[in-house]
Chains A and B, each alone.
Chain A
Amino acid sequence: MRCITPKCIEAKCNKKQMKIEPDTGGILLEDRIKRIYCPMTETGFYILFCLQVPQHGYGISQQVKQMTGNRVVISPGTMYGTLSKMEKDRLITFVREEEKRKLYCITEAGKEVLTTEIQRIERLYKNSQGEWIL
């Protein structure tokens, strides 16, 4: 996974992180978050994936359209609602405002959810190819 988030923004993103599990050093995701976001909707996945770099809603939707050859379209109502929900659930955080556009970036908890989801998709893919995971 490529992440080109500048250090300063990364620090800002990590500010509102979830409870740290003392034994493992990892992040303990709340059950509620797991229930809602694992597995994720396509919209949710692409938004989290794109927010590894700070962006605003329309920017995300343009990037997703390009990445998927116009196959995945995220409309403004869905984008606005998902961003607000993810911000409330602290998977993403508000970075700054640019010309009335809110820029968001993924948090540590968001990264955890994204990694879990990518592993799930990898497993699905491997299994679909007849490969077993031992």
Chain B
Amino acid sequence: MDFMSEMKINFFTIADYQEEEIWLREQHKNGRKLQKIVLPCFYIFEECEPEDVIYRLDYKNSKADNTYIQMFQDYGWEYFADCAGWHYLRKPASEMELEEEKDIFSDNTSRLEMVQNVFRTRMVPLMIILLCCILPQLYRLDSHGMDGALKVVFAFLLVIYLYLIAHCTFKLKKIRDELI
């Protein structure tokens, strides 16, 4: 990391991508341009001229290929990072002639598809892990008599896990309902 770089910590769940887009745009307005993301919550910025740049996240659950990158480039969107299936794109607001060009999707069908894709490939596995691994394991440990301190740690992790699942499910459902 050179001296021009700056790291910020912020946590966005898979259902908070719209908030992340707004936050990244604010950062760029304040002269911080996103360079890359390191899981789970580290954002590496580089100093830049303050500019109104619109950020968008596309979820593909696969690596971006050349034709994908080229297509966005043709439209003036810079593809600059990806992180766990999410592709990060940006375009200066000044280059957008029409209001519709501010988004990477132009109809609700494709917006909806992305949300459903996130749900199918991310939320469903998380729920399966909870139901088939974590809960039975906890039950087994409990019946064998578990150390008090360990119990507290497990209970704490379980609460976080349940909270994240509930938060993401409700948020994704809310986004979906707005699109239907």
Instruction: State whether A81 and B101 are in contact (beta carbons under 8 Å apart), knowing that A58-B74, A76-B71, A101-B67 are contacts in the complex.
Output: no
Is the beta-carbon distance between B67 and A102 smaller than 8 angstroms? yes
In-complex Cβ contact of A58 among B58, B75, B98, B110 (8 A) = B75
Chain B residues contacting A41 (CB-CB under 8 Å) are 107, 109
Residues of the A chain whose Cβ atoms lie less than 8 Å from the Cβ of B71: 56-58, 76, 79-80, 101
Residue of B nearest to A82 (CB): B110
CB-based nearest B residue for A85 = B113
B103 is an interface residue with CB less than 8 A from chain A = yes
A43 sits at the interface (CB 8 A): yes
Asked if A78 and B67 sit within 8 Å, CB to CB, the answer is no
Contact pick for A74, options B56, B74, B106, CB 8 Å:
B106
Given A58-B74, A73-B100, A78-B105: A97 in contact with B67 (beta carbons within 8 A): yes
Q: What is the chain B residue whose CB lies nearest that of A99? A: B70
Chain A, residue nearest B91 (CB): A76
Q: Does A77 contact B (CB under 8 A)?
A: yes
Whether, in the assembled complex, A61 has its beta carbon less than 8 Å from a beta carbon of chain B, the answer is: yes
A100-B105 in contact given A75-B100, A76-B77 (Cβ < 8 Å): no
Contacts of A56 in B (CB 8 A): 71, 74
Give Cα A56–Cα B66 distance, bound, in whole angstroms.
14
- With contact pairs A70-B98, A73-B100, A73-B101 given, residues A100 and B106 touching in the complex (Cβ less than 8 Å): no
Which residues on A sit within 8 Å (CB–CB) of B77?
Answer: 76
The answer for the CA separation of A67 and B149 in the assembled complex, in Å, is 69
